[in-house]
Amino acid sequence: MAEWLTLQDAGDRIFDHCFVVLNPLERDARTLNIIRTLLADGQSVCFVGLASDDHTVLENDQVTIIEVETRFTRFYRFWIDFQWRLFRHRNKIKAKTYWSEDLYSLPITSRLSRNHKGRLIYDSREVYSALGTIHHKPWRQTFFSGLEKHYIKQCDRIFTSGELDSEYLKNRYDIDLPAVVMNVPHKKEVKKNDKIREFWGLSADANILLYQGMIGRGRGMLPVLESLSLLDDVVLCLLGDGGLVHHIKRRAKELGVDKRVQHREWVPYDELLEWTSSADAGLAFIEPVSLSYRFALPNKLFEYAMAGIPALISDLPAMRKILDEFPMGEIMPPDATPEMMTNAIRKLMNPELRDEYQEACKKVANKYCWENQIPIILNLARPT
């Protein structure tokens, strides 16, 4: 069983790897998959992140999880408090290799690596110099761009979640091409079920369009609402947390489709595919409001494939490449009209096309699964 500690209780053990991220472990599937890979390889791991609600997420006595409690909710105060708390206890967090699992944790992770003469690995999981969530706040974008520019040269190894992201970082910062570790699920046989219908009491003839992940602007949910008024038998189900939930509900009510928009907060990652497989189609319609979103290759796309459901996908470079290889859904231009999206959703729900979509999903799942990322992770983790 994993050992769970506070910063005050952290001891003198020297781990092979220490991961730092501004998330609870159970809510960070990417970090969780990397840690499980290293543990399976017999390496010891320390995770430092936000306090968790689930102390069963890892069952391995080679991992220690250090929870960081912070009293702030506004991001910048919370971020500074997180850094300060780790800095105060920096002598207790000892490892041979430190992994910064996002830009926000990079400053303190860099300090820890220098303090203990360990290697520094940076997971640039988004284009932080052009974030979608703050594209309308240029001063914040400038700040984070400068932060990444300052610290990225201190990293021993860097990796991203997509080829376009790696090429961008290489050109922007004049660094070696970062490795790519894709955001994909473990290979798993997922059986079709009625979990969503049972949870919300939906009828058997309702067609379920699922969105899972962070609920924010630029994720395609608002454009899809416009189509629901033309699709009487489609229910949009949202799984996840985010600041856009109330706006979506308000807009759905204005359009008269609020009875067919359902929301449930985050579900544990290890249970997610069971929920996914109970939908009829998935939504991966990213709007290119920033460069980070334009390059997007979201994990939900591959989770839909692993669960065997087709998806409505925006015509952006990285996702277009997957769809050109395996047509696991319908692709739409980012400025698609409600009528265009309506027609695409009807195709996704067409029983006559189900076998064709599912065959494509199987091919995506076989090629783009976590098992094919393991050699890349182990190579990154290998001492130079």
Q: Distance between CA atoms of 47 and 17, rounded to whole angstroms?
A: 8
Q: What is the reported pLDDT for 253? A: 95
Residue 42: exposure state from Cβ atoms within 10 A (0-12, 13-18, ≥19)? exposed
Q: What is the reported pLDDT for 132? A: 55
Q: What is the mean pLDDT of each run of 10 residues along the chain (384 residues)?
A: 80 92 91 96 94 79 86 86 93 95 95 96 86 65 86 96 94 95 94 95 94 88 91 95 91 94 92 96 88 87 97 95 96 92 96 95 97 97 86
Q: Is 242 left (phi over 0), alpha (psi -120 to 50) or beta?
A: left
CA atoms within 13 A on the CB side of 105: 27
> Which residues, 6+ apart, have CB-to-CB distance to 56 below 8 Å?
none
Q: What is the reported pLDDT for 80? A: 93
Q: What is the reported pLDDT for 344? A: 96
Q: What is the reported pLDDT for 152? A: 95
C-alpha triplet 102, 103, 109: angle, nearest 5°: 80
List the beta bridge partners of residue 313. 284, 331
> Which residues, 6+ apart, have CB-to-CB distance to 43 below 8 Å?
16, 17, 62, 381
Q: Distance between CA atoms of 116 and 106, rounded to whole angstroms?
A: 15
Q: What is the reported pLDDT for 72? A: 82
pTM attached to this predicted model: 0.93
Which phi and psi angles does 285 have, rounded to 5°? -100, 85
Tell me the two tokens of residue 98: 């430190």
Q: What is the reported pLDDT for 9? A: 82
Q: What is the reported pLDDT for 136? A: 64
Q: Please, what are the domains in the chain?
A: 3-184+372-381 (3.40.50.2000), 195-367 (3.40.50.2000)
